[in-house]
Amino acid sequence: MEILAYTQEHRIFRESFRKFLQKEVVPYVEEWEEAGIVPKSVWKKMGEQGFLCMWVPEEYGGMGADFLYSVIVAEELPKTNFSGLAAPLHSDIVVPYIYSYGSEEQKRKYLPGCVSGEIVTAVAMTEPNTGSDLASIRTTAVEDGDYVVINGQKTFISNGLNCDLLVLAAKDPKVEDPHRAIDLYLVEAGTPGFEKGKKIRKIGWHSQDTAELFFNDCRIPKSQRLGEKGQGFRMLMEKLQQERLMVAIGAVALAEHILPMTIEYCKQRYAFGRPLTKFQHIQFRLVEMATEVKLGRTFLDKLIADHMEGKNIVLEVSMAKYWTTDMVMRVADGCLQLHGGYGYCEEYPIARAWRDARVMSIFAGTNEIMKVIAARVMGL
C-alpha cells in the first residue's frame, strides 16, 4: 500500500511538469551551468504554467493546491540532474513566511507576483561569521521613526542575484535577549543601501546564483516587518520543519535518479567479457545502495504524510534531513566509483550529481546541528 494518496490530478500535474522541464530546462542546462545563473525568464515561464507556489490560495493568485504538488516539483527537478533552478526554495521555504506572517497588505502586494514568477524570493539568514547559530547574527535593524535602518552582510544566499524580494533576518541591538532581538523584514531589490555582491564560486550547483548581500544604511518602512516585533526567531524555528523536509525530498529524489542511471551503465559496461552487473561484488554494492534509497523513500513518505496532517515532526525531520543527505552522498560516491574513470569526467552525468549532492548535508542547518536538535528533543 502506498503511503501517499496521489490522485489522478496529481499524476497529470507530474507529467505536465516533466514535459515542461524537458522543453524549457533540460536543453539549456549546460548553457546555464557555464553562465553560472538561470535566466529569470525561466521563472516567469514556470509561473505562467502554474508550477510556482501552487499552495497559495486563489484569492492571492494561486491554485490552493495541497502539499503533494510541492512534493512533485521537488522530486522532478533533481531528475534533470540539475540544481540551478531553486524553485522549491522560493515556493515552499521563502514564500510561506509571507503568507503565514505577513499583513493582508503585504500578502496582496507580493503573493500574486510570487505565484506568477514576476517576483523571485530569497531568505537571508547566514552571515560570514554566523551559520546555524541564528541567535548570533550581527546584521542590525535600528528603528528611526517610521523606518528601520539596516546594516550588515549576508552570505551563501541562494537566489541571491535573481531575487526581487528578500526575507531578511536582522536584530535590534537595543534588545538584550538574542532571541527576542531578531525580526524578519521584507526588502525589495533596488532599495537604496541594499547591494548584491558577487556570485560565489562553488564546487557544485554552478548555475545557482548563490551570492553575498550587503546592507549599508538601508532604509525600509517599519511596515515591511513580518509579524509582531521580536517574533523573528520564533518564525524561523516554526518554518524550519518544512524547509528541512524539502531538503530531504530533494536528497531522496536525487538518489533515485542516480542509482538507475548507474545500474544501466553497469549493464552496458563490460569487463573480462561480461557486464559489470554480472560480478557479485558489484551486484552486492548496487543492492546495498538500492536498499538505502528505498529505506529513505519509505521514511520520507511517512514524514510527508505526517506533515500534511499538521503533526509536529521536528525530531523526525531533523533525523531525515541528516540521514537522507548523508545517504545521497554515499550513493553518489558509490555510483561514481562504479563508473570508474569515466565517472570523473564532466561529460558523464554522475560527475555533476556527485558534486551537487555534497552541499545538501551543509545547508538548511548542517547535519551536525540536526543531531544536536534531535538530541535536545529526545531529552538527552
**Residues of the chain with pLDDT > 90: what percent?**
94
Nearest Cα to Cα of residue 151 among 213, 216, 219: 216
CB atoms within 10 A of CB 38: 26
The mean pLDDT value of the chain amounts to 95
The reported pLDDT for the residue numbered 1 is: 64
CA 133 – CA 130 distance, rounded (Å):
6
The tens digit of pLDDT for each residue in 69-96 reads: 999 999 999 999 999 999 999 999 999 9
- Catalytic, 243? Answer yes
370 plus 277 within the same structural domain:
yes
Residue with cell 532599495: 191
Q: Tell which of 169, 202, 228 closes a domain.
A: 228
Q: Tell which of 206, 228, 250 closes a domain.
A: 228
Residue with cell 515542461: 20
CA 18 – CA 175 distance, rounded (Å):
49
At residue 317's C-alpha, the angle toward residues 235 and 311, to 5°, is 70
CATH number of the domain within which 173 lies: 2.40.110.10
Straight-line distance from the first to the last Cα atom of the chain, in angstroms, rounded to the nearest whole number: 35
316 plus 182 within the same structural domain:
no
The reported pLDDT for the residue numbered 113 is: 98
What is the number of domains present in the chain?
A: 3
Cell numbers standing for residue 358: 555534497
114 plus 128 within the same structural domain:
no
Please name every residue paired with 148 in a beta bridge, in sequence order, or none if there are none.
143, 220
240 plus 346 within the same structural domain:
yes
Residue 98 lies in domain: 8-119
Q: Tell which of 71, 103, 119 closes a domain.
A: 119
8 Å CB contact between 204 and 350 = no
The tens digit of pLDDT for each residue in 8-59 reads: 999 999 999 999 999 999 999 999 999 999 999 999 999 999 999 999 999 9
CATH number of the domain within which 349 lies: 1.20.140.10
8 Å CB contact between 200 and 211 = yes
231 has pLDDT over 80: yes
16 plus 60 within the same structural domain:
yes
356 plus 371 within the same structural domain:
yes
The tens digit of pLDDT for each residue in 264-303 reads: 999 999 999 999 999 999 999 999 999 999 999 999 999 9
16 plus 94 within the same structural domain:
yes
Global pTM? 0.94
Please name every residue paired with 123 in a beta bridge, in sequence order, or none if there are none.
167
The reported pLDDT for the residue numbered 2 is: 83
DSSP string across 159-216 = TTTT-SEEEEEEE-TT--STTTTEEEEEEETT-TTEEEEEEPP-SS-TTS--EEEEEE
Is residue 1 in a domain?
no
CA 259 – CA 277 distance, rounded (Å):
13
DSSP string across 252-285 = HHHHHHHHHHHHHHHHH-EETTEEGGGSHHHHHH
DSSP state of 61: T
76 plus 207 within the same structural domain:
no
104 plus 208 within the same structural domain:
no
The tens digit of pLDDT for each residue in 120-170 reads: 999 999 999 876 777 789 999 999 999 999 999 999 999 999 999 999 999
| pLDDT range class, residue 178, cuts 50, 70, 90 | confident
CA 253 – CA 258 distance, rounded (Å):
9
CATH number of the domain within which 21 lies: 1.10.540.10
195 has pLDDT over 70: yes
Query: From the candidates 243, 256, 292, 316, which is the catalytic residue?
Result: 243
Q: What values do phi and psi take at 152, rounded to 5? A: 150, -170
CA 119 – CA 64 distance, rounded (Å):
19
DSSP state of 221: E
Q: Are strands 121-124 and 165-171 parallel, antiparallel or unpaired?
A: parallel
| Least-confidence region, from 105-114, 170-179, 255-264, 368-377 | 170-179
Is residue 134 in a domain?
yes
174 plus 278 within the same structural domain:
no
